[in-house]
Structure 1
Amino acid sequence: MSTPFDMELFLAGMLTGSHATRQRHFRQARIIQTAIAERWQRETPWGWKRKHLNWFLKNRLKQRSDGTRYYYLLIVRLIVRRLGTSWVFDL
């Protein structure tokens, strides 16, 4: 039996700011993780490719407000920085 991936531990060293901001980032990261896992069966960020995150930003958030999409873009950028890649995303 495998243990579920801990997104909070993955991002813990990257996040600064207030407790509420960190909790929002953790919640959004788990939403991204769940969506990608359902669509592509990729459970951890280490298995994600640029197309997975781009799909989330373009398709899963297309009905959301500009502000919501912006906050998700911020957490995607943190995930990309944590992965050590140089992927660039825009809305």
Structure 2
Amino acid sequence: MSKPFDMELFLGGMLTGSHATRQRHLRQARTIQNAIAQHWQLEIPWEWQQKHLIWFLKHCLAGRNEATRYYYLLTVRLLARRLRNSWAFNL
């Protein structure tokens, strides 16, 4: 049996700011990870493509308020930077 993917270890070096900000990014990254795993069966971020993150932003955040979408967008950009991709995301 394999260990679950550790999002905190994955993003650890990328997280800056206050403790609350770091915890928010980790919580949102785990939410993104769970949604992509359920829909696309891709468990780890190294398997993700830009289309997976765009899908999350468009479909999973539909109906959410603007502030929530903005904070998730920041987390998605952080994930893309950690994956060393120059993907562009806009809402």
Q: TM-score normalised to the size of structure 2?
A: 0.99
- The residue number in structure 2 matching 1:37 is 37
Q: CA offset at residue 60 of structure 1?
A: 0.4
| Distance in structure 2 (CA, Å) of the matches to 1:21 and 1:50 | 24
Is 1:49 paired with 2:49? yes
- The residue number in structure 1 matching 2:85 is 85
Q: Gapped runs of 5+ residues in structure 1?
A: none
| Distance in structure 2 (CA, Å) of the matches to 1:34 and 1:19 | 23
Runs of 4 or more above 4 Å deviation: none
Among all aligned residue pairs of Structure 1 and Structure 2, give the percentage whose two residues are the same amino acid.
Answer: 70
Which letter maps to 2:5? Answer: F
Q: CA offset at residue 54 of structure 1?
A: 0.2
| Distance in structure 2 (CA, Å) of the matches to 1:74 and 1:90 | 10
> Deviations 1:27-74 (Å, cap 9, x if unpaired)?
000000000000011000000011100000001001100000000000
Aligned residues: 91
Q: Gapped runs of 5+ residues in structure 2?
A: none
Taking only aligned residues, the RMSD between alpha carbons, in angstroms, comes to 0.4
| Distance in structure 1 (CA, Å) of the matches to 2:89 and 2:16 | 21
Is 1:59 paired with 2:39? no
- The residue number in structure 1 matching 2:12 is 12
Q: TM-score normalised to the size of structure 1?
A: 0.99
